[in-house]
Amino acid sequence: MASASCYMPGPGTDVQDPALGTTIMAVEYDGGVVMGADSRTSTGSYVANRVSDKITYVHDKVYVCRSGSAADTQAIADIVRMYLNMHSLEQGKAPEIPVAANILNQMCYGNKNNLMAGMICAGWDERNGGVVYSIPLGGGLFREAYTIGGSGSGFIYGYCDANFKKGMSKQEAQEFVKNAVSLAMWRDGSSGGVIRTVTISKDGVEREMVLGDKLPQLHAKWCP
């Protein structure tokens, strides 16, 4: 299943499950943003896809991280991509990140009773630089220096608060994201697989995948 997201309700599964089984995050650094996610797609307790891509392109320098129902978040990303392409043609320039985030929030909030979607919108534009917005389950728009989401996020709030610092370099931000997602994958049964990252800056977009046997081993400090 291409580009699947995290939690996909199966027969007899409560679709209102708030866990949003995944780990997604994004962080601003000095010059851009780094987005990261695990790759496990689960249908209840069954892992339907272990290498799905939860960081989705919506414009040249605008991406979204998706958690929740795969069908819901894929449909939202497709619609937002369409609107941003139309906006870009009308304005004659690339869309700004706040515009993309507001469109995404309107979709999520306006349909909050019918969707299960927790999203992160991030990217780079000439006016704002690297920007991160969180759109949690049910809608709402929050500009944050870094944000985490999905069921794995509950395991790493302390780590992220203790290790985040403003003005990080690109390399520091990438390591921060990889370490945090790896810790969440170690603790959260609904997160796993590989780590995918997207780094967005004035210079363009860099995608990276960290395989399962190459993940940071921070948990080894306390595990035998």
Q: Given the residues 22, 23, 41, 73, select the one marked as catalytic.
A: 22
Amino acid symbol at 69: S
Amino acid symbol at 91: Q
Q: By the 8 A CB rule, do 6 and 190 touch?
A: yes
Helix (H) or strand (E) holding 176: helix 170-187
Task: Examine the residue annotation and report whether 22 is marked as an active-site residue of this protein.
Answer: yes
Tokens of 39: 């790759």
Residue 121 CA to its chain's centroid (Å): 8
60 half-sphere exposure, CB direction, 13 A CA radius: 12
Amino acid symbol at 184: A
The 3-class SS string of 37-94 reads ECCCEEECCEEEECCCCCEEEEECCEEEEEEEEHHHHHHHHHHHHHHHHHHHHHHCCC
Tokens of 28: 């601003």
Q: By the 8 A CB rule, do 98 and 133 touch?
A: yes
Residue matched to tokens 């390591």:
175
Kindly list the catalytic residues.
22
